[in-house]
Chain A
């Protein structure tokens, strides 16, 4: 029997299918029609394995749109799901840093992936995935280039974290002829500093598992690690950790 998790985020809908041994995942942009996009996302995943809805015993929805998903039988918050997903993907994980499209979360958990405490920053887009992609666009970078800034690059400090102000700061730096990659590194460093500060508030030692789309940015991960003075581990599919966690939670109900 299969279980599925669906993570309805502000930018993307992520889905995961669990057969008890392995995962298959899929994601697509959230768009405006949450209900039908969710349906389509699950369908795509099912068709790939030549399955249909009837083959899934339980579905758990998570993410900010979790309550808008009619076919999921239960909704669980993304905090609980990210913890479950991260602790499955990286054995023994105790601290998770999740940078999502519109918020940053730090979660601590016990060995079984059960949440013990969490912190959430959702007041503004500063330092979130949305911020990152806006800045990439501004600099004319693809997200991939943005994530592979050469080590020897000098940091151009950016003082604004607010999307609006950072934008005008970046524009004026560019106008002054500052190198694009120095600015990019400065932006990433300011996000890293902020994220590291949040991690430090909740947990003081051990490695940190980074999830969410921005975790794919290697430069960002290494900057966070540098500020924390602790290892930062990135699982294979960091952006799917919420959906994977949801599918695992759905499976627990099976037992």
Chain B
């Protein structure tokens, strides 16, 4: 087995190889399906014989191009994703046979209308709340509709056997990630938030799932062994922070950097955000009907586009307890209304539980790193 540095380096390379792998997949005639959101049922695409690729972009580069069609005052995630498609500068989008979107936030669902002019786009109608029979019925219909669209587009049958196999694979991936994330429950964390981000990304963009599961498990094991033998990678005095809010990506590494710099003295012990704890902690039930189980799992994602979304509050408090967080930082992308509005209720809920909380608005530019450092610094001095 390799040492930790080597494993992490291998993951970095794996992520960087993503575009090449997608090209190979495409050349073998295997469908590539673009996704923009955690609500997209990964298992259905996998069962259709396709490869889901996350297209949520976090680079500032294509934003200017996107602003030709989209307003300036729009969430950078939407603009960046659209800009990449428009300029055809994202290899993942380039190789996509089709993309799947959902009626999540206003900006995103309107953006899909334009995206549809560039690529075969299927938009799922996402209910606006979780409770009640109607939401369940609507969402199940949408899952079934997606199933037939995928079957027709890729000329295949999505059988229950195939679905069950995909569910099992995805659950194994989630379990592997949870075991990895859970390392941060240790009294002295063994990972930085930036490393957690790197590993999550690796699993997202390495298209050899078995290899990825193996490598992440190896890393988890190795870190545990080293911890048990007394190695401490992280300064024990660092203040433990849970991150919540909008999806985090490459450009928001600046947030992790600012929190975890030596002067600030924080350490991120978990991300409640999309693509991390929130999606890996609740697997699809393997014992019930696959379509019902998938419907149930995805409808219950506690995202701010749902109203009400009280489950997110419970989840944050639960993670604070489990990961022994000493403070919560809510990262809100400029012009993301759903998360910005929800910030007030998160603040109130955490205040009541006497958990220090701060919200920070940011975007994909690197111009605010100084201000972020001051804010995070003051917050950490306060807790």
Chain A residues packing against B (C-beta within 8 Å)? 64, 67, 75-80, 103, 114-118, 120, 122
Contacts and interface: CB of A to CB of B under 8 A. Distances in A.
Nearest to A109: B382
A67 B261 CA distance: 12
B382 A78 contact: no
Given A76-B381, A77-B381, A115-B378, 7 more contacts: A78-B378, A79-B377, A80-B378, A80-B382, A115-B382, A118-B378, A118-B379
26 contacts: A64-B374, A67-B263, A76-B377, A76-B381, A77-B374, A77-B377, A77-B378, A77-B381, A78-B374, A79-B374, A79-B378, A79-B381, A80-B378, A80-B382, A103-B371, A114-B382, A115-B378, A115-B381, A117-B382, A118-B378, A118-B379, A118-B382, A120-B371, A120-B374, A120-B375, A122-B371
B370 interface: yes
A77 B358 CA distance: 16
A75 to B, nearest CB: 6
A-B CB proximity, top 4 nearest: A79-B378, A77-B377, A77-B378, A115-B382
Nearest to B264: A77
A77 B375 CA distance: 8
Interface string B356-383: 0000000000000011001101110110
A120 B368 CA distance: 13
A105 to B, nearest CB: 9
A120 B362 CA distance: 13
Interface residues of B, number: 10
Contacts of A116: 382
Contact of A64 (B370, B379, B382): B370
A210 to B, nearest CB: 19
Contacts of B374: 64, 77-79, 120
A78 B377 CA distance: 9
Residue from B377, B378, B379 whose CB has the most chain A CB atoms within 10 Å = B378
Nearest to B334: A123
Nearest to A102: B371
Contacts of B379: 118
A34 B263 CA distance: 19
Contacts of B370: 64
A19 to B, nearest CB: 25
A116 B381 CA distance: 10
A34 to B, nearest CB: 13
Contacts of A118: 378-379, 382
Residue from A75, A76, A77, A116 whose CB has the most chain B CB atoms within 10 Å = A77
A252 to B, nearest CB: 13
Nearest to B359: A119
Residue from A64, A79, A103 whose CB has the most chain B CB atoms within 10 Å = A79
A117 B351 CA distance: 11
A76 B375 CA distance: 11
Nearest to A63: B374
B378 A75 contact: no
Nearest to B374: A77
Nearest to A75: B263
Interface string B49-87: 000000000000000000000000000000000000000
Contacts of A122: 371
A143 to B, nearest CB: 26
B177 to A, nearest CB: 34
Nearest to B261: A67
Contacts of A114: 382
A77 B370 CA distance: 11
A79 B378 CA distance: 6
B331 to A, nearest CB: 15
Contacts of B263: 67, 75
A76 B373 CA distance: 11
Contacts of B377: 76-77, 79
A185 to B, nearest CB: 31
A116 B351 CA distance: 11
B259 to A, nearest CB: 13
A10 to B, nearest CB: 11
Contacts of A64: 370, 374
A122 to B, nearest CB: 5
Interface in B38-56: none
Interface in B241-276: 263
A103 B371 CA distance: 10
Contacts of A80: 378, 381-382
A64 B381 CA distance: 16
A235 to B, nearest CB: 20
A117 B370 CA distance: 19
A179 B123 CA distance: 60
A76 B374 CA distance: 9
A117 B379 CA distance: 8
A226 B375 CA distance: 29
A117 B263 CA distance: 20
Contacts of A115: 378, 381-382
